[in-house]
Chain A
Amino acid sequence: MHRAQGDCAYEKGNDCITCLSGCHRDSKQSTLITYIRQAEKLGLKVQAETMVERVEPLGNGYKLYATSHGERVEFECEKLILAGGTLGTNHMLLRSGFGNQLPALGKYFSTHPQYMWFGVYDEEINAHKGMFQSVASKDDRFRQRGFKLENVFAGPVSTALLFNGYGADHEEFMRNYSRITCAEVAVRDENAGELVVDKKGKLIIKKPLTDQDHSRMKDGVSVLKEILAASGAKRVIESPHFFGLHMMGGCRMGVDPQKSVVNPEYQVHGYKNLYVGDASLFPNAPGINPSLTIYALATRLSDQLVGR
């Protein structure tokens, strides 16, 4: 299975499990080693560990109020592209009061809910060795039914976290670490979630699961349990900790300012030179990992801004 990778050195025995928290070989083609490196050569300056708390229109541009290493800092600009990730971008706009003019801000939020299952085998599997993921299902019937299956594994910290037992149960589970496989059902969920801020300006995530979401989850789980049993798992364990892995929406793209936040040219409705360039502009959940779509949208936005 080919992913966005350079040279993972599998043939030399490299283990990619740590890829989840960053690639020590720079083989993983994240924005840090692709777009940002290219942009730095063209003059981009990265202001690391700086949290933007408020955005205000200022003349023909915008002013940003931020905290950097404990100090208050301010920035002014003519054109502003918000790309803080779905949670970051929505948080900045909501905390800055843009919701008063943009009724759809924070709405239509989706996450691709994930349901993890473990299979425990008699023989050693050593799922943490070698390639991080080697097989993907391209069965269209799963996608048509609103879910996808993905084999995935994690280091001991995350694996222990996903298991709900403690004490002796935890020890028994973790002593079997080398005999465990893990796979997940990822649901293409309805965009029924909403992001809001409380009185203190803290981001609150509301993410109800709809009847359709539950139905798709049950459908996917039944297939996954069949696969684990057929592959020889002696015991199948459900992780009760469900989570959303891909944060999307809240600044959905559209033509109606009542039902969307940015127009098809990425500009926030009613705010000249204010753009959104991340997954928060997704109108709904695509049902697949969104990073390539985000890259494509961002590339189109940058082409548009430089007039290509």
Chain B
Amino acid sequence: MQSNYFKPAALKGLNRIGDVFIPKSDDWPSFSEFGGIEYIDDIIAYAPQEDIDSLNMVLGIFSFLPEGLLRWAAGQMVAATYRDGLLDGLLRQLNIGLKGILFSCYYSGKGGHSYAGKNPLDLVGYNVVRIED
């Protein structure tokens, strides 16, 4: 897939960190398997350019980090919530920023064009009725 905002390496990095946050389990699809990343441009269109540039850099690094280091990084992001060290403010921003993108892709209801499994919205029991008139 292609994006108007993210480089290919950043998209690869997003899928890799996405699978750490949302791994596959039984009928529960992993982040990359569901494929909601295909709609990433809809989500990111109104983000400030500076934030998009920063994300491209961080996600680019995630594209080649060894699996173990990637898991360690995710753990540090989550743990930073309860700490107040030198880098913890940045880690907290990254935690919220990344999860915002990941969960928006995953729980959008829109999977990738080749995905045929269960929709995460159905798996969590989110069924909303919209009465139009």
Closest CB-CB distance, A127 to chain B, in whole Å?
11
Q: Is the CB of A178 within 8 A of B99?
A: no
Stretch at the interface among A31-39, A93-101, A168-176: A168-176
**What residues of chain B lie closer than 8 Å to A124, measured between beta carbons?**
125
Mostly, the A contact residues are loop
Q: Give the CA-CA distance A240 to B110 in the complex, in Å.
A: 29
Q: Is the CB of B124 within 8 A of A168?
A: no
Contacts A15-B128, A174-B124, A178-B125 known; A164 to B107 CB distance under 8 Å? no
Q: Give the CA-CA distance A202 to B82 in the complex, in Å.
A: 27
Closest CB-CB distance, A166 to chain B, in whole Å?
4
Q: Is the CB of B81 within 8 A of A175?
A: no
Q: Does B78 contact A (CB under 8 A)?
A: yes
Q: Does B116 contact A (CB under 8 A)?
A: no
Q: Does B57 contact A (CB under 8 A)?
A: no
Closest to A173 in B: B124
Q: Give the CA-CA distance A13 to B129 in the complex, in Å.
A: 7
Q: Is the CB of A157 within 8 A of B128?
A: no
How many inter-chain contacts with C-beta < 8 Å in the A-B complex?
80
Q: Does A241 contact B (CB under 8 A)?
A: yes
Among A124, A156, A202, the most chain B Cβ lie within 10 Å of the Cβ of: A156
Closest CB-CB distance, B75 to chain A, in whole Å?
8
**What residues of chain B lie closer than 8 Å to A241, measured between beta carbons?**
81, 96
Stretch at the interface among B5-13, B16-24, B58-66: B16-24
Query: Contact check: which of B21, B99, B100, B126 meets A128 at CB < 8 Å?
Result: B126
Query: Contact check: which of B28, B103, B132 meets A160 at CB < 8 Å?
Result: B103
**For residues 15 through 61 of chain A, which have their beta carbon under 8 Å from a beta carbon of chain B?**
15, 17-18, 24-25
Q: Does B123 contact A (CB under 8 A)?
A: yes
Q: Does A161 contact B (CB under 8 A)?
A: yes
**For residues 164 through 208 of chain A, which have their beta carbon under 8 Å from a beta carbon of chain B?**
164-168, 170-171, 174-175, 177-178, 202
Q: Is the CB of A14 within 8 A of B131?
A: yes
Q: Give the CA-CA distance A161 to B124 in the complex, in Å.
A: 15
Q: Give the CA-CA distance A15 to B28 in the complex, in Å.
A: 25
Closest to B28 in A: A171
Q: Does A136 contact B (CB under 8 A)?
A: no
Q: Is the CB of B103 within 8 A of A165?
A: no
**What residues of chain A lie closer than 8 Å to B22, measured between beta carbons?**
166-167, 170-171
Closest to B100 in A: A161
Q: Give the CA-CA distance A164 to B82 in the complex, in Å.
A: 10
Closest CB-CB distance, A305 to chain B, in whole Å?
32
**What residues of chain B lie closer than 8 Å to A161, measured between beta carbons?**
96, 99-100, 103
Q: Does A155 contact B (CB under 8 A)?
A: yes
**For residues 96 through 133 of chain B, which have their beta carbon under 8 Å from a beta carbon of chain A?**
96, 99-100, 103-104, 106-108, 120-121, 123-126, 128-132
Closest CB-CB distance, B40 to chain A, in whole Å?
14
Closest to A13 in B: B129
Closest CB-CB distance, A200 to chain B, in whole Å?
9
Q: Give the CA-CA distance A25 to B106 in the complex, in Å.
A: 26
Closest to A176 in B: B124
Q: Give the CA-CA distance A126 to B130 in the complex, in Å.
A: 16
Q: Give the CA-CA distance A234 to B82 in the complex, in Å.
A: 24
Query: Contact check: which of A15, A156, A166 meets B129 at CB < 8 Å?
Result: A15
Per CB-CB distance, the 10 closest pairs between chain A and chain B, nearest first, are A178-B125, A156-B107, A14-B131, A177-B124, A9-B131, A240-B81, A166-B21, A160-B103, A15-B128, A12-B131
A-B contacts, 8 of them at CB < 8 A, read: A14-B130, A15-B130, A25-B132, A124-B125, A129-B129, A160-B103, A161-B96, A171-B28
| Given A9-B131, A155-B107, 12 further pairs, Cβ under 8 A | A15-B129, A24-B130, A157-B103, A160-B107, A161-B99, A165-B78, A167-B22, A171-B28, A175-B124, A177-B125, A177-B126, A178-B125
